[in-house]
Structure 1
């Protein structure tokens, strides 16, 4: 494996990613804090979370014969679901993962490239859930987009491996690890894990990273 020339995430990097952080980290955090406050009766109505899910979560039934709450909901839900979470712990885990994955892909994903992979992966996660998930259950959370960033990171690593055989073995190993991790999480969360979104997001992230033009200095 050749040495990667990608730079580390420094202060300049984080300043450049401020718009992305405001949109995909701060906004979901504010939304969840408001919903949690409403859950406890500290703000608005305790039905606020239900209302938010009804209008922003991903509902597979809306791709069929369900009636949407507003025009365009069957389209907008492919992205709005990623701004909603199931509670503070769900939010915290996802936002911590976002920071880590941004650090791991800092050299190759900056500015519009990072946002593009994130959005494509969120949509891919929704597609995965639509194709494989249970029609009656809503889906929320940024994990589809996060698995997409993980897929982009793995693509960067795969691209550095010399030899088709070694590369194929590494890809197979990573897929096995991802499947095993999701299986453990699925059991630990009493089968409430949207593994379908993880799979769709990962595949979309790999595809998006492969389709992006290489930056100067990439190998």
Structure 2
């Protein structure tokens, strides 16, 4: 029987990961500084949310503010966050998981996966939520990275004949974490986006890396 603990290769500080994190941080850092300095940050935040957040209403007949807003919001929502803590939590996860993804499918693969998972997260929110509130944050994309990571771990465990129990325990912990956060945030957690992103990540990894030796 193979080892119980599986460690996948990683590529630390890949430029694509660093640049993506920097781009995602830009909006929230500017907004935080503007709000702290009394420079109209609240108005700017409202404007960005109106134009960049994911709105279920736009799929139900609301009028768009600009051409292709309905389509672009499936990606732009992931560039906005509800505050510094929200941003930091997501970006720490991207930095931690990005190296694993880059080591497996390269920097272009990482970017494609991130975008695919963000779109999947938005699709999950659209299908499973009837909320009319805006949805922002990169957690859908983050859960896509987690989905791909765990798919690759499953591949490795199957290849080595290692027990699947640690993988199943991780998945259970992920479910419990979402439930706890949903309760702590009084139901404001977009778990639908997490689920959609996770499924998108697994599907992406299964298509792009169908076996343990495949690379792009």
- Is the pair's TM-score, using the shorter chain for normalization, greater than 0.5? yes
CA deviation vs aligned residue, 1:156-190 (integer Å, no higher than 9, x gap): 011122389955x6665444322211001111222
Question: How far did 1:26 drift?
Answer: 0.6
Q: Distance in 2 between matches of 1:127 and 1:8?
A: 29
- 1:145 aligned onto 2:141: yes
The 10-residue stretch of structure 1 (105-114 or 147-156) with the greater mean CA deviation from structure 2: 105-114
Q: Normalization by structure 2: what TM-score?
A: 0.87
- 1:203 aligned onto 2:199: yes
Q: List runs of 5+ in structure 2 lacking aligned partners.
A: none
CA deviation vs aligned residue, 1:36-94 (integer Å, no higher than 9, x gap): 12323443453000000000000011011100100100000000000000001111111
- 1:190 aligned onto 2:148: no
Q: For 2:129, which of 109, 115, 133 is the aligned residue? A: 133
Q: Distance in 1 between matches of 2:126 and 2:202?
A: 19
Q: Aligned with 2:106: secondary structure?
A: coil
**Would you say the 8 A contact 2:31–2:41 is kept in 1?**
no
Question: How far did 1:196 drift?
Answer: 0.5
Q: Which residue of 1 aligns with 2:108?
A: 112
Q: For 2:16, which of 1, 19, 31 is the aligned residue? A: 19
**Would you say the 8 A contact 1:83–1:141 is kept in 2?**
yes
Q: Normalization by structure 1: what TM-score?
A: 0.86
In structure 2, relative to structure 1, the CA distance for the partners of 1:184 and 1:218 (3 Å cut) is same
* Cα RMSD for the two superposed structures: 2.7
Q: Aligned with 2:105: secondary structure?
A: coil
Q: List runs of 5+ in structure 1 lacking aligned partners.
A: none
Q: Distance in 1 between matches of 2:170 and 2:39?
A: 44
Q: Which residue of 1 aligns with 2:119?
A: 123
